[in-house]
Amino acid sequence: MSKTSDNQGLLMSWAFDEGSGINTLESVSQANDEIEYVLRQAEFSESRDPQWRQGVRGKGLLFDGYSTYISHSFKGESSYGNLESGGALSLGVWVAPRSYEWGSDGKLAAIVNHHNKDRNQGFLLGMYRHGSWSFQVGLEGGCWKEVWSPDGYELPKNEWSYVNAVFDGNQGKMKLYLNGSEIASTEIPCGSRIAQAMDTELLIGKNNHSSLLAERFSLHMFSGILDELNIYNRALSEEEVAKSYRDVLNTSHGGEHPELSYEEIKLDRTPLLSDRHRPQYHVSPPAHWMNEPHAPIYFAGQYHLFYQHNPLGPYFHQIHWGHWVSKDLVHWRDLPVALAPEKDPLAPDGIWSGSAAYDADGLPVLFFTAGNDSASPNQSVALARSTYLQDREPDLVHWVKHPEPLIVQKEGMGAFGDFRDPYVWQEDNHWFALVGSGMEGEGGAALAFVSHDMLNWTYKGPLFKADIQKFPYLGPIWELPVLLPLGSNKQGENKHLLLVSPVGQGADVEVFYWIGQFNKQNLSFTPDQEEPQLIDVGDFHFTGPSGMVDPKTGRKIIFTIAQGDRTSDLEFKSGWAHNGGLPLSVYLRDDGRLGIEPIEELRLLRGAKLISFNDKSLTEANDFLQGVQGDMLEIQLEMEPRSAKKFGIKIRRTPDGEEETLLFYDKNEFIFAVDRTKTTIHPGEKCNGVQGGKLDLLEENLKLHIYLDRSMVEAYANGLKSLTTRVYPSRKDAVGLEIWGDGELFVKSLDIWEMNSIW
């Protein structure tokens, strides 16, 4: 039975005290309700039970925000006839939300519901935008009634709240209680009765009529912990509600409101560590969705990196800023969400990409794209400051937003309505900013701004813009502009690197770059060559650039997102989508070309050295490779082609070659490419075909530096180009390697290490 002291009129009760397993007891009917959870039948990892956590009494159940819910069947019960047959209904439950939903289609993220709003039937208790919450019912006679939490009574994230909803048809009242006290009421006609929702299941954690996103994800699901859910067929009095609240405090918490450790409610990466496709030494969120990592900054001995993140599930929606911290740019720790949409006029609808800089006192600040769909345009540049001066907390967990946007786009300031991703840096007592946009009818552009105090900004026109007629693949809009100093060339000319990501009609969504000269006086950029270049020649797997000048070493480092290249169905089943690429050091070579190298700190991840040899023929090399296997490897390989025109290495290969991925160089066409036509036989995976791009080795041997991390492949060729791709073999024995060529070749050297997880 329920742990509530007074059970008069109790229809249903879930204590959630099991602490393990896939069922939870409804104690009145003794029904053992099944808990839905995506990893119960995991396809790519160990199957797991739903996640249980500490509750306010005993245990509580953690709802992941997109797959966890309970369906209570009324078969064989009298409860169905009693649930909505009278003129009274009361609900009580302890809730600890982890995230808030955006509120698509005006629907609530259901805590518990048994309703059909279109028919004005049943009841719904749930949460809405920014922590607001509501109790809603359909009345006999065909009307829908709602009572809402007032301003100031939102449900806080990562904290326990006791919520009660009371429908008293006899007295003509609907009421809300928070932590034992009445906070809202609305009048209904005396004698009102709730209309039965006859063809609907009672659901906990999922809306009866969820909207569907990407044909797979049900929105309006609860994210967080629930405990002590009770449903009565009578109207509880204010005294009874207050008593039930105090009972929990007095019997389990020494009279104090229950506290909740962040460790109990945070997104937990542990269930995903066994996923055979999820990278283990590339940075990733604990679970769910990420877009580009951005805003790298070094402060107080630590590197901070943020990322676009949906904490509700592995789908694109309701974007926050996730946060990692590291001492070496390799081993990262998960920190709480740094910035989230809030109930304010600044950014209620999304915290989009941006950058980090230092203020006049050398303290970190974040510049972000503020999403406000009630404004026109709905994107502006905004600022958040750390609370370091107050709390001296080196992880920089807490950030406070400046109350107003810093830069609001005006007509004539780029392509109106496309204005995002500020990249900010400080130089010579001024702050400079680039904002991604376009020029009407001309193509993408990086707009330039300057400020003397970091708060007031002057528009200086486009730093650089595309010639869309000559280069249509550069698109009408640029996102994520980055400008990094490269130093002087042999002629003593100071060079900069400009990175952009084109979007919009006709755009090739890759990271394009120019090397050129930056004029700080008029904020303009002149490229050495008009045609843009690619750092990476994979296909849409190396995107979303951000960059920094490392204060410790002076290196110029860029970060990217490695797109997952999977269907929504597979992302649903896996529980995660995307990860970051490895940090990449870029520099100006003596020949004027851009040099690229994975950061040297990655050597810290090396485990056992599996093989090392020099000067072997193709046959001899493959004989040595017979026993070398792995899906987390670092490979350094130099090949002299001799008569071979195409040559490279096969990775993630099954013993019979049914599945394999080939990284190769075409000497005749000067192409560095990957062949994924045999990567997987899984019918649902998308990775296939041949992708690559131009690379002139100028008669050098092919020197490959490959990082293999489960589904991630990053291959660096001669320090000039990278090729990032994804591989999802279906067979577990796809862990072999083989040197390949269409003619005679010589393996000058081969070294392979196992790589360790950073988690």
User: What domains are there in the chain, each with its CATH number?
Assistant: 11-265 (2.60.120.200), 284-408 (2.115.10.20), 606-755 (2.60.120.560)
List, for the chain, all residue ranges whose pLDDT scores fall below the cut of 70.
1-6, 75-82, 84-85
Per-residue pLDDT at 82: 63
DSSP structural state of residue 221: B
Measured distance CA(258)–CA(265) in Å, rounded = 14
Written as six digits, the tokens of 114 are 């048994």
Residues 37/43/49/52 CA torsion (nearest 10 deg)? -60
Residues with Cβ < 8 Å from 471, sequence gap 6 or more?
443, 531, 532
Pairing of strands 646-653, 736-741: antiparallel
Within 10 angstroms of residue 358's Cβ, the number of other Cβ atoms is 18
DSSP assignment letter at 552? T
* Distance from C-alpha of 510 to C-alpha of 342, rounded to nearest angstrom: 32
> How would you write 725-756 as a 3-class SS string?
EECCCCCCCCCEEEEEECCCCEEEEEEEEEEC
The CA distance from 38 to 47, in Å, is 9
> What is the distance between the alpha carbons of residues 674 and 721, in angstroms, rounded to a whole number?
13
- What pLDDT sits at residue 74? 78
The encoded tokens of residue 71 equal 């369906």
Q: How far apart are the first and last CA of the chain?
A: 41
Sign of CA dihedral 28, 31, 36, 42: positive
State phi, psi for 736 to the nearest 5 degrees: -90, 170
pLDDT of 79 reads 45
Are the CB atoms for 735 and 719 separated by under 8 Å?
Answer: no
Q: According to the model, what pLDDT value does residue 80 have?
A: 43
CB 756 within 8 A of CB 605: yes
Burial class of residue 301, CB neighbours in 10 A (0-12, 13-18, 19+): exposed
Q: How many CB atoms lie within 10 A of CB 243?
A: 16
Tens-digit pLDDT profile for residues 452-472: 999 999 999 999 999 999 999
- DSSP code of residue 119: G
Tell me how far apart the alpha carbons of residues 756 and 604 are, in angstroms, rounded to a whole number. 9
Report field, pTM of the whole predicted structure over 0.95: yes
Q: For residue range 646-684, list pLDDT tens digits in order.
A: 999 999 999 999 999 999 999 999 999 999 999 999 999
Type of residue at 528: D
Residue type (1 letter), 91: L
Residues forming beta bridges with residue 517, ordered by sequence position: 526
- How does strand 133-139 pair with strand 702-709? unpaired
